[in-house]
């Protein structure tokens, strides 16, 4: 045997491949047992996570409580004739005229006024009497057909009458026969009634006497019950979340990533708005060596990349113009276009390489690898709906196409996915 001292490395490589080791000690049962132990410990970890999620349940109920809107709350006007607001839909309240501009209260503590709304418009007493009789009759007729609330109308025949709970007066609800009454005699002070099924169904059941607390809530609701306007002019902010499917060039998507973040925008009008935000993205992808540059990998010469897969965590800053079209009172469709900047925070890869006929697998991770200004353009379209005080909810499928290469591997990265978002106007 002759040794070549200057080629010791090669000698050890050959020795490593062919050294005579006793290898008949495989024990599949041991491996199987270890795999089962791993599975059971993983299952226990998941259960632990689920327990922590239960702690979020009270938060859900609290949020639900404070965002609940009491649609049954009565419109309580201010005493003293101040004009009270109408219902949200602009229809006047079912009220009775009260004399001397005094706002009489219904059995449900509803204050009433004249002119079909709760503005305290003064009326003459005699006119009141005449109108009241006819109005009562009309009310009863409408009540029979449309299930109007049990307001103790007879109590309002006298200016000095005070209201009583509706239930108490059901039997005393005696309307004089006013057959032959001429509708023309009704003045403008007649209660205008345009009941709709929605309204009557709301008032069908007699309301319990309001407690002071409930009245307060009703006051607040009345005072702050804003109209549902999906495109309030001005700034808005919100959050988005959704799955992301990314791919490099013509490669297929590998796994599901995600995108979540904050958005802020400005509604210029009902049709156009400008939006930006800051998203935290995780994009997963895989490709072969042709679509991924290894120039920055510091590998030995003649290393060929065969395949690579992994993910990148990035901060995305989009800039988007949205074009909107209302489809209903509180809904709209929109189309959007824009571009995004990427700040690559972490790239993690598993790869397979070949060098001189030997195959290697490995993994590499890079932090803060690169920043790219507007390397993708994106297009999206979606549907948005207003949810009252909560804000607007939107669903937005999107497509992002590369105009520049990104990442440590200089990839042409395209993405598609869906954003689900909530926004709220801020002024």
Which one, 306 or 403, has the nearer CB to another protein?
A: 306
| Residue pair 412/402 in contact by the 8 Å Cβ criterion | yes
Give me the least distance between CB of 362 and another protein, in Å please.
6
Can you tell me whether residue 29 is helix, strand or coil? helix
Question: Could you say whether residue 2 binds another protein (CB under 8 A)?
Answer: yes
Backbone angles phi and psi of 297, in degrees to 5: -90, -10
Alpha-carbon distance of 250 to 234, in angstroms, equals 42
> What is the dihedral sign for C-alpha 179, 182, 183, 189?
negative
- Report if residue 8 touches another protein, rule: CB under 8 A: yes
Q: How far apart are CA 349 and CA 103, in angstroms?
A: 75
Minimal distance, residue 308 CB to another protein, in Å: 9
Q: Is 125 in the site for another protein (CB under 8 A)?
A: no
Of the candidate spans 85-93, 95-103, 175-183, 346-354, the one that interacts with another protein by CB under 8 A turns out to be 346-354
Pairing of strands 358-386, 413-425: unpaired
Nearest of 343, 330, 337 to residue 393 by alpha carbon = 330
Query: Smallest distance, Å, CB 247 to another protein?
Result: 14
Q: Site residues for another protein, window 20-79 (CB under 8 A)?
A: 20-23, 25-28, 30-32, 34-35, 38
Among the listed residues 208, 226, 266, 360, the single contact to another protein using CB under 8 A: 360
355 is a contact residue toward another protein (CB under 8 A): yes
- Kindly indicate which of the ranges 5-13, 98-106, 160-168, 326-334 contains the residues binding another protein, using the contact rule CB under 8 A: 5-13
Spatial CA neighbour of 145 closest among 188, 98, 193? 193
Q: Print the binding letters for residues 68-97 with another protein: x by CB under 8 A, - otherwise.
A: ------------------------------
What is the rounded CA–CA span in Å between residue 147 and residue 136?
14
Q: Is 254 helix (H, G, I), strand (E, B) or coil?
A: coil
* Binding residue for another protein, selected from 151, 191, 247, 286, defined by CB under 8 A: 286
The C-alpha atoms of residue 289 and residue 353 are separated, in whole angstroms, by: 9
Supply φ then ψ for residue 38, to 5 degrees: -60, -45
Q: Which of 145, 211, 325, 350 binds another protein (CB under 8 A)?
A: 350
Considering the rule CB under 8 A, would residue 11 count as an interface residue with another protein? Answer: yes
Q: Which of 137, 271, 307, 371 binds another protein (CB under 8 A)?
A: 307
Number of shown-chain residues binding another protein (CB under 8 A): 48
């Amino acid at each position: 045997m002759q040794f070549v001292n200057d080629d010791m490395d090669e000698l050890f490589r050959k020795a490593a491949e062919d050294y005579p080791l006793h290898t008949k000690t495989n024990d599949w049962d041991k491996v199987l047992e270890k795999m089962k132990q791993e599975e059971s410990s993983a299952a226990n970890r998941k259960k632990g996570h689920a327990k922590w999620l239960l702690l979020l349940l009270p938060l859900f109920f609290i949020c639900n409580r404070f965002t609940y809107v009491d649609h049954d709350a009565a419109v309580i006007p201010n005493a003293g004739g101040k004009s009270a607001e109408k219902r949200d839909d602009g229809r006047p309240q079912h009220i009775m005229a009260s004399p001397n501009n005094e706002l009489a209260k219904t059995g449900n503590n509803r204050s009433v006024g004249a002119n079909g709304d709760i503005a305290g418009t003064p009326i003459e007493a005699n006119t009141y009497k005449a109108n009241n009789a006819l109005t009562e009759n009309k009310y009863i007729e409408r009540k029979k057909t449309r299930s109007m609330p049990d307001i103790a109308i007879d109590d309002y025949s006298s200016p000095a009458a005070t209201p009583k709970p509706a239930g108490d007066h059901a039997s005393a609800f005696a309307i004089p026969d006013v057959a032959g009454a001429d509708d023309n005699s009704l003045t403008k002070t007649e209660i205008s009634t345009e009941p709709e099924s929605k309204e009557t169904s709301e008032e069908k059941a007699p309301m319990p006497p309001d407690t002071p607390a409930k009245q307060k809530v009703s006051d607040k609701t009345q005072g702050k019950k804003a109209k549902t306007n999906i495109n309030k002019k001005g700034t808005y902010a919100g959050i988005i979340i959704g799955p992301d499917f990314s791919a490099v060039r013509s490669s297929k998507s590998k796994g599901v990533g995600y995108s979540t973040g904050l958005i802020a925008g400005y509604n210029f009008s009902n049709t156009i708005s400008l939006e930006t935000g800051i998203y935290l993205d995780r994009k997963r992808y895989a490709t072969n060596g042709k679509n991924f540059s290894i120039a920055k990998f510091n590998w030995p010469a003649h290393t060929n990349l065969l395949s690579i897969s992994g993910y990148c965590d990035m901060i995305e800053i989009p800039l988007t113009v949205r074009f909107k079209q209302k489809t209903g009172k509180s809904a709209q469709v929109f189309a959007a276009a824009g571009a995004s900047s990427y700040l690559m925070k972490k790239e993690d890869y598993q790869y397979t390489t070949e060098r001189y006929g030997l195959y290697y697998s490995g993994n590499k991770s890079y932090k803060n690898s690169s920043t790219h200004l507007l390397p993708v353009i994106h297009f999206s379209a979606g549907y948005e709906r207003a949810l009252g005080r909560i804000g607007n909810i939107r669903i937005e499928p999107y497509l992002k196409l590369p105009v520049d290469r990104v990442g440590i591997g200089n990839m042409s990265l395209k993405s598609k996915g869906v954003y689900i978002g909530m926004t709220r106007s801020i002024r």
